[in-house]
Structure formats: C-alpha cells, structure tokens
A and B are shown apart, each in its own frame.
Chain A
Amino acid sequence: MFRKFWLDVILGTAFIFGMMGVFQSFTAFKVFDVFDPIGQAFGDMEFTDIVFSQLRDDPVGDDRVVLVNLSNLQRGEIGMMLQIISQHNPAVIGIDSFFYTPKEDTLGDMMLMEGMASVEHLVLASKLLPDPTDPTKDTIEYSWELFNSFAERTAFVNLVTDAEVQEDLKMCREFYPKFDIGGEQQIAFAVQLASYLDSAAAADFLARNNETEVINYRGNVLDYGATKFGNKYFALDVPDVFGENFVPDMIEGKIVMFCYLGKHLGDRESFEDKFYTPLNQKYIGRAFPDMYGGVVHANIISMILNRDYINSMSENMGYLFAILICFFNVALFSLVYKKIPKWYDGITKLFQLLEIGVLVFGVIYILELYSFKADIAVGMVAVALAGDALEVYYGVVKNSFTKEGRKSLFKVDKL
C-alpha cells in the first residue's frame, strides 16, 4: 500500500510534467497566441520586475557617475564639450556613441579630434557583431580609426535584448560583462569605465565569470515619473556645459559618460537608444520605454562599484525546484484524494492559491534581502496545474489501465 502510494506520486508528477511538455510543444507553434492577449501582455514580464519597479526601498543616488547629454550635436560641438569637461580632471571620459566615417565637415572632425586629444583617459565605444551560427565569423565595429587612435581603450556597448535592430522596442535586464571575439577578450563599456575608479571592484566583478549578469537597476535621470526612482545621477545638458553652469568638483575624479539623453534633459519624445527596464512604473502591458542606454550603463557601473550584484538561479536549478515542489504537491493532493475525496477540489484550489502567493512573496523577499533572482516560473506552472492534472491522472489515466475502471465508464447507473 505504502509503495503503491509513492509510485502514484512519482507517476502523477511525471504526468504533470508530460502535460506541461505537450502544452509547450503546442504553444511552440504559437497556434494559441492569437487568442492569448493575456499571455502576450505577460510575455515580457517577470515577477522580479515588481520588486524593481514597485517594492524596492528608495536607493541612494550615485555621485560617482556624471552623464553629459550629447543631444543631436554636431561633432565639432561634441569636441568643444569634451574640452570643457576634460579641464576639470575627470577620472575617465567614455563616449557612448559611434563616429564611423569622416565627414565632409572636416572642421567638425578636427574639433572632435581636438576634444578627444584633450582627454587624459578616453574610452570609446565598440559594437560586437557576433555571427549567430559561426563564432569564427564574429567581428567588431569601431569608430573611424583616426578617432579611435585617441582612445586609451575601447569597450563594447551591446546590451542583451530581443531587439533585432537598434530602432526596435527593447527590454534590457542583462548584459555580457565580457565577450570573446577571435580569441581576444572584449570588455563591456560600463565595466571598463568602472575599472578607472575602482580596478579591484571591476576585477572582482569579472572574476565571477558569469556569461551574463542581471543588472541591479538603481535609478534614472529626470524621467517625469517613468520610473519610481527618476533622479539618481548627476546629469548635464548641452547649455549647462557650454554655459559652464555646473560646479567643477562634481566632475573631478568622477566617471563622465557622454551619451544621448534626448534632445534635451527630460525629453520624453525621443526614443532613439531608449529601453524598457524593470524599473518601468508600468511593469505589464503597453508602456513607453523609460531609460536611455547611457543610463543603463551608469546603473551597471553603480552595481560594480557597490559590489551590489544580483545572483540568479541556473536553469537546471529551476527545473529541480519545479520537480521537488510538484512532487510535494502531488503527494499532498494524493493524500487528500484518497482520504477525503469530497474535499479534494476545495482544498487543492485553496492550497494552490495560497502556495502561489507564498512563492511570489518568497521570490520578492529573496531578491530584496539576498539579491538573488529565483527563476521559479516552471515550478509555478507545475503548482498551478497540479490539482487538476492529478485529477486527470487518477480519473482518466489510471482508470484506463484497470479493467474495473474501463468497465465503469460504459456502465450507466440508474438515476
């Protein structure tokens, strides 16, 4: 009897995972997508987004990173801004922009070069172009070589998103800290910039050796409420720089990043280089992108300097957790099914609701307290399916394999 019970529990668990597999193979063909607006809306959402966007304690601002808006300036004007900023001795200046080819406006190019030459430590952006199938064909794209010659280092600015081109809508949660191209290790832009302020922190971060890292978002820059934490970094707009309307000590010894922050600070109409992030106040459904790419890099820098990383659960751990929690549910529900069958539906549904609530709170709690991102999506689906799927297992599958069960299907009792 005891062995039979545990055999049922094991087979019941296997049946639930089988159902999940069948369901997934159906949805892989996206046949239900057209009738599934809720699934579409949830598709881009993770439970942990609620923590970032709604539940986190207000993080403190970071005065070690200064963002300078490139707006839609010409190269010559960018050169002038570089000269103005560099005279206040920043630890490093990074330019989060590409200047691929020389322009007919040679004066502008010359002014930009003059500006770059005035910077003691300059980091320029590069772009990884990995071949989807053949790593030997991976390449890397840089600004025009004459500009590049002024850079002390180059670093890649790619972020992990589902966008196929820069103009696509994009959600950014992760990034590659380093990437191997042709046997040569390339370093991410934010990691490179952070290394100028705290080389040990950057080295520690790289030593984690994770292929990708989850970004521990801290906040934004003048975003008119697009996120809950809209004001966490020093930011200078074009007139602030040209009019020198800033206090020089905010630049000295800091990481300065020239990046696009809209046509002007607080611009909500420019979407070039703008991302959805987990900080977005509207964490589900349709929303505007909330953060410019430069600010995403700034958030990564803060995470590295504060050694405030987010650890995440591996995919295999997620599956193991799903199997264990499913097994526990099936054992409990089997007990209810056999001992108090009249109470089965009510008790299992109530327990599932409670369990999902506890799991969601657990994920939030663990992320907030231990900076650990637990990906238990498969486990949650298993919990949600356990009650009804087990009924199908006992009522249909098991009965089909017993003579008595098959017989009762065709025997109609008098009412």
Chain B
Amino acid sequence: MRKFISYAFVVAMILSCGSVSAQDYAFRVLANKGTNQVKKAGAGQAEVLKTGAKLSSGDEIIASDDAYIGLMHKSGKTTEIRGAGTKKVSELEKNINTGSSSIASRYASFVMNKMNEEENTNNRSRLNATGAVSRATGSAAINVMAPSQADLLGDLAILRWDAPEGFTEDDSYVVKIENIFNEEIYSEETKKTSVALDFSDEDLAYDMGLYLVKIYKKGDDEIASGEVGIKKVKSGDKVEVQENLANLKSEVSDDSPLNKIIYASFYEENGLILDALTKYEEAIKMSPDIDDFQELYQNFLIKNGLAE
C-alpha cells in the first residue's frame, strides 16, 4: 500500500509539473488601441483589456469602434483584430496556422496572386481620397487650462477655461465627465468659466478612477474643449509623495492663502499639476487682491504650457 501511495504521489507530481510548465493561456495582448474590453470565461462582467494580458480559450474580446488589437498566440504566431465587434478567443485560435509552408509553395502562390491581380479601372471606386483637409469646427474651441492628462492626489480639482469668441452672458457651459468607456457619469451646467469637481462626491464614485472631462457650449456640442484625462491617485500609488504630503500636512495647515501656495509648490514639484492648479485657484479666491499670487499662478500656467 505504501508503495502504491508513493507511486501515485510521484505520478501526481509529474502530471502537476507538466500542467505548470505548459502555456496557461491562448493569447497575450501585444498592443491595444481603443477602449477594448475582455469578458473572462465564467465572469459576469467585462473588464478593461490591458496590454500584456493573457487570454484563455473561453474568453471574449469586445472591441470598440476604432479598435486595433495585436495578439500573440502561445506558439509565438501573431494575429490582429481591427474594428468593432465581439471575438471569441477560441475562434481566433482556430485561425492561427502554427505550421509552416515550403518556400516553393509560397513562391508559387505569390506568383499566382500577382498574375490574378486585377487593376481597378472603375473610377467610381477610386474617389476615396480628396485634395483637401478637414478641420472640425468646434474642436478645442474652448481652451481649458489643464494638461490633457493629469494625476490628481486630492479630492478637489478646479478647472478653468477661456470663454470662446462670440460667447455672450446668456450662454452657458455643460461640463461632462465620462469613464474610459465613454459612458457619462456626471454632468453639470454653469455660466461661469470654471468648475470645482469634488471627486469624493458619490456622483463621481468610480472604481477605476479614470475620468475624461470635456466642456461644451450648451446647445452646441460642436463648440467644445479638448478632453482632459484625470487619474485619481490611489492609496498604493505614489507612496513617497503621499508620505511627504502627510508630513507637510502635519507641519503646515491648509487654511491660509500663503499656505495654499506652499501646497501648490509641493504638488508642482511632484508633477501633480492639477492639484497645484487647484491650490493656486483656492489661494487666489481667498485673496483676490494680492497681485503676487496672480503672478505666481500665471508663471505656473506658462511654465506648464497651460497658457501663453
């Protein structure tokens, strides 16, 4: 019996080693363009598709409109997905040819393809290109003083923008916030040229912490700002900065305009431009008459390419 158990143990070990050393995935994502998702086998909800992610046979890829996904099969062969649609990984696997054809047959098929190539003589199907360029009328008509991508450590972000030409006092703006799947999660209407967004608000609660903010002229979506991507810094990210901030908070309170400028400098030094910008805004709001604050803020904007 002892002998049997020891044999069984050895066999089980060999089998388990075999299964560990085998590739435990069908594809890896080499490159990923678009807001694509993957629905894991047995999972109820789809999740964001990440570059480098491993996909198994039972998974499904949900490709967005402008999708371009590069995939590498476990054999090393590659394939790609272009355009919207749902693709089963098992189907993609079937199309992977892991074998190799002889050079003579490849040469023969190349010659045959060339021989059978037909010149397109139908001019109606040759009018896809124009001798002109297109310019979207409302693209970035509203200039937001914020970087196009920014991390946010605090909860509050103040965004300010320039009123576009031809704007009257009767006109108002709509601030829209979307998640990375372009689903609207928050919208606010204002007549002012700034908005304070509190990301601790329940309305903005969203696990991934990646927000896309855009400002539109009310009633005319053609007049809009560029997209501002805001990434909420999580507790495990930028640990050193968060520790330094905690030290700063223990020494300097955040209740006076001057202290807010100190905080702004701290954030700027640590590349947290949106936090810095918010602190400058708060300082100026508390002491609008102090020219030095205005000047510091202006220099900050110029230095960071947010104003000219």
Contact = CB atoms under 8 A, between A and B. Distances in A.
8 contacts: A55-B110, A60-B78, A224-B82, A234-B30, A235-B30, A240-B32, A243-B231, A265-B31
A235 B70 contact: yes
A238 B107 CA distance: 40
Nearest to B99: A57
Interface in A363-382: 364-365, 368-369
Say what secondary structure dominates the interface of chain A: mixed
Interface in B78-100: 78-80, 82, 97, 100
Contacts of A106: 303
Nearest to B273: A76
A365 B70 contact: no
Interface stretch (B8-16, B44-52, B242-250): B44-52
A238 to B, nearest CB: 7
A369 B102 CA distance: 10
Nearest to A238: B149
Interface string A131-148: 000000000000000000
B103 A231 contact: no
A217 to B, nearest CB: 14
B52 A58 contact: no
A54 B110 contact: yes
Interface string B191-232: 000000000000000000010000000000000000001010
A239 B34 CA distance: 10
Interface in B35-68: 48, 50-54, 68
Contacts, number: 124
A80 B231 contact: no
A272 to B, nearest CB: 19
Contact of A235 (B51, B80, B106, B229): B51
B80 A231 contact: yes
Interface residues of B, number: 42
Q: How large is the interface on A (under 10, 10 to 19, 20 to 34, 35 or more residues)?
A: 35 or more
Contacts of B100: 57
B33 A264 contact: yes
Nearest to B70: A231
B282 interface: no
Interface in B273-308: 303-305
B164 interface: no
Interface string A223-255: 010000111111111111011011111110000
Contacts of B71: 231
A331 interface: no
A219 B68 contact: no
A251 B50 CA distance: 13
Given A219-B78, A221-B31, A369-B103, A80 B51 contact: no
Most buried by B among A105, A250, A368, A369: A250
Given A61-B72, A243-B180, A266-B33, 11 more contacts: A54-B110, A55-B103, A55-B107, A57-B100, A80-B151, A108-B303, A229-B78, A234-B31, A243-B231, A246-B52, A247-B52
B268 interface: yes
Contacts of B304: 76, 105, 107
A79 interface: yes
Given A237-B33, A265-B33, A369-B103, A231 B78 contact: yes
A243 B269 CA distance: 21
A55 B103 CA distance: 7
Contact of A107 (B31, B180, B268): B268
Nearest to A240: B51
A233 B32 CA distance: 11
B107 A361 contact: yes
A279 B195 CA distance: 51
List the 9 closest pairs (A to B, CB-CB), nearest first: A60-B76, A250-B52, A247-B52, A231-B70, A235-B31, A61-B72, A246-B51, A61-B78, A368-B103
